[in-house]
Amino acid sequence: MSSFTIGVIGILVVLLLLFWGFPIGFSMALVGYVGVWYLVNPTAAFHVVATEPFNAISSYDFQVIPLFLLAASICLSAGLGRSLLRLAYNLVGRLPGGLAMSTIGACGLFAAISSSSIATAVTIGTAAIPEMRSYKYDSALATGCVAAGGTLGILIPPSGIFIIYGIITETSIAELFVAGIIPGIILTLMFMSLIYIRARLKPQIGPPGPATSLKEKLVAFGECAEIMLLILLVLIGIIVGWFTPTEAGGIAAFGSIVVTLIRRRLSWQGFKDAIVDTVLNTGMIFMVLIGALIMNTFIAMSTIPMELAEIVTSFGLPPVLVVGLIICVYLVLGCLIDTMSMILLTIPIFFPVVTGLGFDPIWFGVIIVLVTEIAMITPPIGMNVYVISGVAKDVPMEVIFKGILPFVVVEIAFVILLITFPQLALFLPGLMK
């Protein structure tokens, strides 16, 4: 059997184990170990499991993940999501669908401090969904906009997916973060426009809220002023090179503690909860990362990435079509596998193909994050949908999926826009060079 065939069998076994309910990190580690054993020898396999986990956990770049998780958990504990929602509501709440638009806006703002889509959806959803329902908003719109808005958490920097993509492809995380800003803003505006148009056409799905005075607007802004400054500091700091992404994570965590302490919103219990939450999520993410690194060693040894790149090149397909096919693979896989595992399992295979065709790795990173966003809201895995169904327990899952559908269409349209105009993602990173 050729190395390529063994690699393909390994990937299929991982998928099989995943669907049977074997924890993702453990299954990738097991298959990676057995694969290297088979392809090389037991000593090499043992060396991989002895060294790769420590390399992962002692990587300076990887430490950005727990630091940003801590920042988001502190904000979550201190209820900052509610303040951001109030600010967004004061700005656009009086428009048709205003509360849903404010929810998207608040998600966009919270995304700038959180690296996780789920954290964004939970934080904003907990405050926004009851509010929207009290204003008689359509349940599908109310839950759908939170689930879709939550996905902004992984596009607007800091983003957990950008960090992982950057590390496994050796692409600059800072440039990836910066590349996500313009697409993040455009997608936020596209989501808001979608809600506005739908609410104009069908006013009963999102009635406008009462107008707010300038004083109310200023008070709402004052409540969030420090956290907005912190968000700006983190983003500008990364863009102008004051600090690395890991340092930005530390600044964000420390800044969120200071801000919430000044505001007297962080109790000792809240701090402890934030630590516990961070530890739990760190363990969850790193077990998958460790398994993926072992698996990726096996995939690299199986020569799948190189051979696949050669096969694709030999077909002579137009590069855009190849990217389109890869996106289709992600859309299908995203319906079945957890997003982080999908990225870790597939990027080592597809990245050489895409860069070999001459595409920019930063641009491809943004495309991958967008496709991942879609995966997070498509059935049956769509993690954000499950999170939202936990917040709005009486709303059936199919209603949430129905509410999400228009947002998925917008996201797909935006992916096409980004393929047509790569500069939307590459303009800001270009300024850093």
Cα–Cα distance for residue pair 48/334, rounded to 1 Å: 28
Asked if 365 is part of the footprint of another protein (rule: CB under 8 A), the reply reads: no
Residues 370-409 that bind another protein (CB under 8 A): 380-381
Compute the least distance from the CB of residue 324 to another protein, in Å: 26
* Nearer of residues 23 and 79 to another protein, judged by Cβ: 23
Compute the least distance from the CB of residue 129 to another protein, in Å: 24
Q: What are the residues whose beta carbons fall under 8 Å from the beta carbon of 432, sequence distance 6 or more?
A: 174, 175, 178, 239, 241
Q: Residue 69: which of 2, 131, 153 has the closest Cα?
A: 153
- Size (the chain), residues: 433
Q: What are the residues whose beta carbons fall under 8 Å from the beta carbon of 331, sequence distance 6 or more?
A: 371, 374, 375, 378
Cα–Cα distance for residue pair 408/416, rounded to 1 Å: 13
Asked if 161 is part of the footprint of another protein (rule: CB under 8 A), the reply reads: no
Asked if 222 is part of the footprint of another protein (rule: CB under 8 A), the reply reads: no
Q: Residue 285: which of 70, 108, 36, 32 has the closest Cα?
A: 70
Residues 16-35 that bind another protein (CB under 8 A): 18-26, 29-30, 33
Cα–Cα distance for residue pair 151/369, rounded to 1 Å: 9
* Nearer of residues 247 and 310 to another protein, judged by Cβ: 247
Asked if 343 is part of the footprint of another protein (rule: CB under 8 A), the reply reads: no
Cα–Cα distance for residue pair 89/92, rounded to 1 Å: 5
Compute the least distance from the CB of residue 88 to another protein, in Å: 29
* Nearer of residues 152 and 290 to another protein, judged by Cβ: 290
Per-residue DSSP letter, 115: S
Could you give the angle at the alpha carbon of 398 between the alpha carbons of 395 and 404, nearest 5°?
95
Size of interface with another protein, in residues (CB under 8 A)? 58
Q: What b-and-e string marks burial along 269-292, b requiring 16 or more CB atoms within 10 Å of the CB?
A: ebbeebeebbeebbeebbbbbbbb
* Nearer of residues 242 and 421 to another protein, judged by Cβ: 242
* Nearer of residues 106 and 257 to another protein, judged by Cβ: 257
* One-letter identity of residue 207: P
What SS3 class is residue 395?
Answer: coil
Asked if 41 is part of the footprint of another protein (rule: CB under 8 A), the reply reads: no
Q: Count CB neighbours of 326 within 10 A.
A: 21
Residues 286-305 that bind another protein (CB under 8 A): 286-288, 290
Asked if 338 is part of the footprint of another protein (rule: CB under 8 A), the reply reads: yes
x-or-dash string of contact with another protein, 166-195, rule CB under 8 A: ------------------------------
Q: Which stretch binds another protein (CB under 8 A): 120-128, 180-188, 332-340, 397-405?
A: 332-340
Compute the least distance from the CB of residue 306 to another protein, in Å: 27
Q: Which stretch binds another protein (CB under 8 A): 41-49, 112-120, 177-185, 199-207?
A: 41-49
x-or-dash string of contact with another protein, 58-87, rule CB under 8 A: xxx-xx--xx--x-----------------
Asked if 250 is part of the footprint of another protein (rule: CB under 8 A), the reply reads: yes
Cα–Cα distance for residue pair 379/333, rounded to 1 Å: 11
Q: What are the residues whose beta carbons fall under 8 Å from the beta carbon of 169, sequence distance 6 or more?
A: 347, 351, 361, 365
Binding site for another protein (CB under 8 A): 18-26, 29-30, 33, 46-47, 49-51, 53-54, 56-60, 62-63, 66-67, 70, 242-243, 246-247, 249-251, 253-254, 272, 275-276, 278-280, 282-284, 286-288, 290, 336-338, 340-341, 380-381
